[in-house]
Amino acid sequence: MSASIPEEPLPIGPKGELPKVVEEEFNKITKDKEEIHMAVSSDMSLEGDFKENWFLATDKRIMVFNGDHSVKAEVVKELLLVDIDDVKLKNYIGNGVLEITTKDKAVEFLRFSKTAFHQNEIGEIPKVIDKIREKNGHKSESQKSTGEQGPSSKKDHRCEKCGAIIPHWTGTCPNCLDKGALLGRLFSYLKPYWQIAIIAFLLTLVTTALGLVPTYLTKYLTDRVFAPVVETTTDRRLFLLNVFVLAIIGIHITNTLLGAGRTYMMQWLGNKVIYDLRTSAYQYLQRLSLSFYNKKETGRLMSRISNDTGRLQEFIVHGIQDFAMNILKLVGMCTVLFITNWRLATLSLVPIPTMIVGSIIFGKKMHMVYHKVWRRMAGISAVLADTIPGVRVVKAFAAEDREITRFNIQNEEFFTHSMRAAKISTIYFPLMGLATFAGGIIIRWFGGRDIIGGEMTLGELMLFVGYMWQFYGPIHGLTRLNHSLQRAASSAERVFEILDAQPDVDDKEDAVELPAIKGDIKFEDVVFSYDDEKNAIDGISFEVKAGEMIGLSGPSGAGKSTLINLLGRFYDVSEGAIYVDGHNIKEVTMKSLRSQIGVVLQEPFLFHGSIAENIAYGKPDATRASVVAAAKTANAHDFIMNFPDGYDTMVGERGVGLSGGEKQRISIARAILKDPRILILDEATSSVDTETESQIQAAIERLVEGRTTFAIAHRLSTLRKADKLIILEKGVISEMGTHDELIKNNGLYKRLVDMQSELSSIKVV
């Protein structure tokens, strides 16, 4: 099936616009006769230098511009589309290449980093080139290719169904999204409350019917009171006037009371459904693996849990209710109008096809625009999530202006796309109003002619005119509902993406509870890679006996933190196995494993709450006496008692208000209270002063007694008491033994010790 060229250029890049010098150079070469269909920024030259490049695609050729784009630009690559046989994105370590195959050879056309690939939508290049070539009558092979598709384009980067690129901000294909299924899945959350839903629907039915009655009574009020068709007495007309007015008042009061009850029930139903959905999404977020969070921005996830679920709540409370009421109103009014005068009723429907066509056309455009608006709003949230927690770093580096600029870029893009949505609405709703006006003119002209001809009463015309305004209201509501449905479907897509994400690390169906352990650990030929390209751990094997202390050291990036992450099953091994007391950790539940592991991190994370609550985080039911005992063991009791509120002192977000050493000792107290059999110390004393380090070290010595301990440290002096040292280098074990044995080996460990000794002597001098 032939795909069409985009109706307008696709200015994709960091700022969504070409540098002026690139545009000028392009116009010189093409002499303004070619339109740019795609413009993408890259951050690397073909030689591998970090330098801005621009890829451009027209209906005739593709080009790459290089140079200092604030001063000049030059073409470094150019190919006619007719000469292209295939387009591929090839994946290398740390970067990728756009490879163009011609009849004679394969040409490396554009190089890019993984960051540029994700941020600048370089993955769309083959798709756009294919569209342009197919539009020009050329067959393309790149869609058939199942080879490499770019730096992180694993099997799920292209949709298996339609072959389209799946955007990096979502895990689903927008082209294949079944919005009906999404909304059906959303409605499934109503099942537990079906009784309330049915009662609310019946109330909607009653209130809608009652809402139509006053206008219907106007017909009789006109024909029997205001302009009676047959002669009647004044007293009779006054009596009928009082009856009709009292009836209208009674109907209005009844309808108001029933409507209030219905609205409250719908509000309760919507809030309850979103409560369940939001709870499910958050619970599932807690289940997802660290790899999921590594790929997602915090601000975007926050937006899904708060903003998107809020939109779904609005849809359930108002959208569904309005839809039911509009349908019932239309059915009721059509029935009355066709019974009263079927010819005039038919004429009143003339504007409806225009409304339906307009709704379909503008609905599609509104969906595309609002999807972009959401992405920009999520981008704003992502910037806020970065800068607000990191405000200390921003101020320390005097980067306020830079962060303001970054925020303004996102905010400006949000404004631009919001105005596009406003522009579409500005065109759409006046057109719908014009259609309504046309319907009113038709009814008045043909109805007036029938009255003059004696074929229709004034009351019947008043009925048509009254229902006309009510009739087109539901039509407008249904056309707006299309927009509401689109927004709800997009929000549901993003929320259900979380619920549908499969944890990379999860319990097996037949996983068993890990019993109380002694602490024997065995690594057997363990291999692990974060990106399926380079092994962070490459065939490591060793054994640890219960109660031993293992020191892990080596250069940065050697795999120390990865090793302990695998032990806690924050990631699963790619090959090999890890055993705890003879149990393969993949065969036991993660909760039973992690409940027996304690961690003290280099940068301890404290939650907003009291000091006592932070110490008891791993054991919420702990008594105050046990909390105090743990704090004393961690050498934290004295400084805690110096605070006016003692253990009830509130800790700011991430431990604001405490020094690094104080936070670390609270973290150690937290691990002591948990009483784990396996203890992990990740650079626990690396960022504190000497006096604090001695206090922390004393606390750690009490903590490690009788536990299997893994201690990561760059200060090798802290590892002298370890039963065994494992020295890692490039993901493999370089050396293993006691401190004295490794010093005698004169290997990597000895060199590291000597280097630290030299640095220490320099500091002393």
SS (H, E, C) 414-445: HHHHHHHHHHHHHHHHHHHHHHHHHHHHHHHH
Looking at 22-26, 27-31, 158-162, 570-574, which range is the least confident one? 158-162
Asked if the structure places residue 696 within a domain, the reply is: no
Residue 650 has pLDDT above 80, yes or no: yes
- Give the closest residue to 224 by CA, choosing from 212, 246, 214, 239: 239
Say which CATH number the domain at 341 has. Answer: 1.20.1560.10
Asked if the structure places residue 669 within a domain, the reply is: yes
Instruction: Let me know: does 410 contact 383? Beta carbons within 8 Å.
Output: yes
Asked if the structure places residue 695 within a domain, the reply is: no
Instruction: Let me know: does 97 contact 90? Beta carbons within 8 Å.
Output: yes
Asked if the structure places residue 698 within a domain, the reply is: no
In whole angstroms, what is the distance from residue 765 CA to residue 745 CA?
30
Task: Tell me, yes or no, whether 43 and 125 share the same domain.
Answer: yes
Tokens 């309760």 sit on residue: 268
In whole angstroms, what is the distance from residue 188 CA to residue 174 CA?
22
Which domain-ending residue is among 466, 500, 534? 500
For residue 597, the cross-strand partners are: 678
pLDDT at 527: 92
Task: Tell me, yes or no, whether 557 and 614 share the same domain.
Answer: no
Looking at 64-73, 162-171, 464-473, 536-545, which range is the least confident one? 162-171
Say which CATH number the domain at 155 has. Answer: 2.30.29.30
pLDDT in tens, 454-493: 788 888 888 888 887 777 677 767 766 766 777 777 777 7
Looking at 297-311, 323-337, 575-589, which range is the least confident one? 297-311
Residue 242 has pLDDT above 80, yes or no: yes
Q: What average pLDDT score do residues 574-587 get?
A: 91
Residue 469 dihedral angles phi and psi, to the nearest 5°: -65, -35
State both tokens at 158. Answer: 């292209």
Q: What average pLDDT score do residues 316-344 get?
A: 83
Task: Tell me, yes or no, whether 576 and 721 share the same domain.
Answer: yes
Tokens 């006996």 sit on residue: 545
Residue 579 has pLDDT above 90, yes or no: yes
Which domain-ending residue is among 477, 500, 523? 500
pLDDT at 523: 92
Share of the chain above pLDDT 90, in %: 4
Instruction: Let me know: does 55 contact 98? Beta carbons within 8 Å.
Output: yes
Task: Tell me, yes or no, whether 494 and 345 share the same domain.
Answer: yes
- Give the closest residue to 52 by CA, choosing from 39, 68, 63, 37: 68
Q: What average pLDDT score do residues 527-538 get?
A: 83
Helix H or strand E segment including 223? none
In whole angstroms, what is the distance from residue 64 CA to residue 41 CA?
10
Task: Name the average pLDDT for the chain.
Answer: 78
pLDDT at 297: 59
Confidence band of 689 (pLDDT split at 50, 70, 90): low
pLDDT at 289: 64
Confidence band of 15 (pLDDT split at 50, 70, 90): very low
Looking at 140-154, 268-282, 713-727, which range is the least confident one? 140-154
pLDDT in tens, 654-687: 566 687 778 888 888 888 888 888 888 877 655 5
Q: What average pLDDT score do residues 127-154 get?
A: 59
Tokens 């370890």 sit on residue: 722
Task: Tell me, yes or no, whether 592 and 611 share the same domain.
Answer: no
Residue 257 has pLDDT above 90, yes or no: yes
pLDDT at 187: 75
pLDDT at 720: 76
Asked if the structure places residue 431 within a domain, the reply is: yes
Task: Tell me, yes or no, whether 350 and 441 share the same domain.
Answer: yes
> How much helix, strand and coil, in percent to the nearest 5, is found in the chain?
55, 15, 30
In whole angstroms, what is the distance from residue 4 CA to residue 136 CA?
10
The torsion region of residue 658 among left (phi > 0), alpha (psi -120 to 50) and beta comes to: beta
DSSP string computed for 290-322: HHHHHHS-HHHHHHIIIIIHHHHHHIIIIIHHH
Task: Tell me, yes or no, whether 279 and 344 share the same domain.
Answer: yes
Task: Tell me, yes or no, whether 242 and 333 share the same domain.
Answer: yes
Q: What is the chain's Cα-based Rg?
A: 35
Task: Tell me, yes or no, whether 586 and 724 share the same domain.
Answer: yes
Query: Which structural domain, as residue segments, surrounds residue 579?
Result: 512-596+680-686+709-765
Asked if the structure places residue 691 within a domain, the reply is: no
The residue among 734 and 685 whose pLDDT is bigger is 734
Task: Tell me, yes or no, whether 540 and 477 share the same domain.
Answer: no
In whole angstroms, what is the distance from residue 56 CA to residue 37 CA?
8
Say which CATH number the domain at 632 has. Answer: 3.40.50.300
Which domain-ending residue is among 134, 168, 202? 168
In whole angstroms, what is the distance from residue 19 CA to residue 394 CA?
28
Cα dihedral 184, 188, 193, 194 in deg (nearest 10): 60
**Pairing mode, strands 95-102 and 106-113:** antiparallel
Residue 318 has pLDDT above 80, yes or no: no
Tell me the pTM. 0.57
- Give the closest residue to 714 by CA, choosing from 724, 704, 705, 727: 727
State both tokens at 566. Answer: 């695998």
The residue among 252 and 469 whose pLDDT is bigger is 252
Asked if the structure places residue 694 within a domain, the reply is: no
Task: Tell me, yes or no, whether 208 and 320 share the same domain.
Answer: yes
Contacts of 73 (CB under 8 A, 6+ apart): 19, 21, 22, 24, 25, 54, 65, 66, 67
State both tokens at 682. Answer: 């990740």
pLDDT at 524: 92
Confidence band of 584 (pLDDT split at 50, 70, 90): very high
Asked if the structure places residue 158 within a domain, the reply is: yes
pLDDT in tens, 266-295: 888 888 888 888 887 777 777 776 666 666
In whole angstroms, what is the distance from residue 681 CA to residue 696 CA?
12
Confidence band of 5 (pLDDT split at 50, 70, 90): very low
Question: What total of structural domains would you count in the chain?
Answer: 4
Confidence band of 254 (pLDDT split at 50, 70, 90): very high
Task: Tell me, yes or no, whether 185 and 98 share the same domain.
Answer: no
Long-range interactions of 538-543: CB distance < 8 A, separation 24+: 538/730, 538/731, 538/732, 539/576, 539/732, 540/576, 540/728, 540/731, 540/732, 540/733, 541/576, 542/726, 542/733, 542/736
pLDDT at 121: 74
Q: What average pLDDT score do residues 200-209 get?
A: 88
Contacts of 68 (CB under 8 A, 6+ apart): none
pLDDT in tens, 485-517: 777 777 777 777 777 767 777 888 888 898 988
Instruction: Let me know: does 585 contact 569? Beta carbons within 8 Å.
Output: yes
How many C-beta atoms surround the C-beta of residue 389 within 10 A? 12
